[in-house]
Structure 1
Amino acid sequence: MDITIYHNARCGTSRNTLALIRNTGIEPTVIDYLTNPPSHALLKAMIAAAGLTVRGAIRRKEAAYAELGLDNAALGDDALIDAMLAHPILIERPFVVTTQGVRLCRPSELVLDILPLPQLAAFSKEDGEAVIDASGQRIAR
């Protein structure tokens, strides 16, 4: 099964998403996007495939967002993507690509919508929130 996660190991949401992928028995391709960002064309395609706008895929809470003046509404998508690639910390995370689709997995449970295999065991997030029950089923919220 071909699954790729654009991952930041320092991010709890990214770690939870990776753990949910692995809970299917699949070992995904893990790309540390901070050191190996996608190309301009690939990032643009992932954002579109996930049904997002470019502004919806940028981390507004990062200091670089304000420092670079990225809140300027006159900036177009290509300029924003260029800024995201020059400063990969600005790319919202984690993006996951599977044969079932592309998602920005915030919250991490969104990955469940595009995983080709079911969950194999119970799963709780790092904060203790139960997401998958002992039979591998998603816990309703």
Structure 2
Amino acid sequence: MSMDVIIYHNPECGTSRNALAMIRNAGIEPHIVEYLKTPPARPLLIALIARAGLTPRQLLRDKGAPFEALGLADAGLADDALIDAMMAHPILINRPLVVSPLGVKLCRPSEAVLDLLPTAQRGAFAKEDGEQVIDASGTRVG
């Protein structure tokens, strides 16, 4: 199985940093797309949403600006309008979105990335906040 993994990453986001660290803890160096600098093209974003089994609203980051300023809480907005907003303001794309040979997933919480990795964790892992996710034998905790 190919080990190609792509993470749509925001280095300022702790959840995204934790997911990236778990990918690396599995011995995989992913292709990192800093989507705020290089947002996906509209057709790719639509394809990622579909492959993840999400709706555009489910991928929409609803915290802070510009979500509120753009009135995106309006449940009557069409999917195309939400995608337009994400294209104009990539910060509205929730993260991290991970693509692997096993599928596409919005990895919130970050340990959701474990379901997408084709190789096991190589050792213990704790999130930045200290929460133990993987024990010393490479087994998921909890």
User: Which residue is 1:92 aligned to?
Assistant: 94
Query: Tell me, what secondary structure is at the counterpart of 1:14?
Result: helix
1:3 is matched by which residue type in structure 2?
V
Task: Tell me the CA shift for residue 74 of structure 1.
Answer: 2.6
State the TM-score, normalizing by the size of structure 1.
0.96
Q: Residue by residue, what CA displacement relative to the aligned partner does 1:81-122 show, whole Å, maximum 9, x if unpaired? A: 111011011000000000100010000000000101000010
1:58 is matched by which residue type in structure 2?
L
Structure 1 residues without counterparts, runs of 5 or longer: none
Match of 1:20 among 19, 22, 29: 22
2:87 aligned with 1:53, yes or no?
A: no
User: In structure 2, how many angstroms separate the alpha carbons of the residues matched to 1:19 and 1:32?
Assistant: 15
Deviates further, 120-129 or 34-43: 34-43
Task: Tell me the CA shift for residue 132 of structure 1.
Answer: 0.3
CA RMSD between the two structures: 0.8
Task: Tell me the CA shift for residue 52 of structure 1.
Answer: 1.4
2:73 is matched by which residue type in structure 1?
D
2:19 is matched by which residue type in structure 1?
T
User: Which residue is 2:5 aligned to?
Assistant: 3
User: Which residue is 1:108 aligned to?
Assistant: 110
Structure 2 residues without counterparts, runs of 5 or longer: none
Aligned length: 140
User: Which residue is 2:122 aligned to?
Assistant: 120
User: Which residue is 1:75 aligned to?
Assistant: 77
State the TM-score, normalizing by the size of structure 2.
0.95
1:117 is matched by which residue type in structure 2?
T
User: In structure 2, how many angstroms separate the alpha carbons of the residues matched to 1:39 and 1:75?
Assistant: 21
Deviates further, 90-99 or 68-77: 68-77
User: In structure 1, how many angstroms separate the alpha carbons of the residues matched to 2:64 and 2:87?
Assistant: 14
Identical-pair percentage: 64
The 8 Å contact of residues 62 and 89 in structure 1, kept in 2 or not, is answered as no
User: In structure 1, how many angstroms separate the alpha carbons of the residues matched to 2:73 and 2:119?
Assistant: 39
Task: Tell me the CA shift for residue 73 of structure 1.
Answer: 2.4
Query: Tell me, what secondary structure is at the counterpart of 2:48?
Result: helix
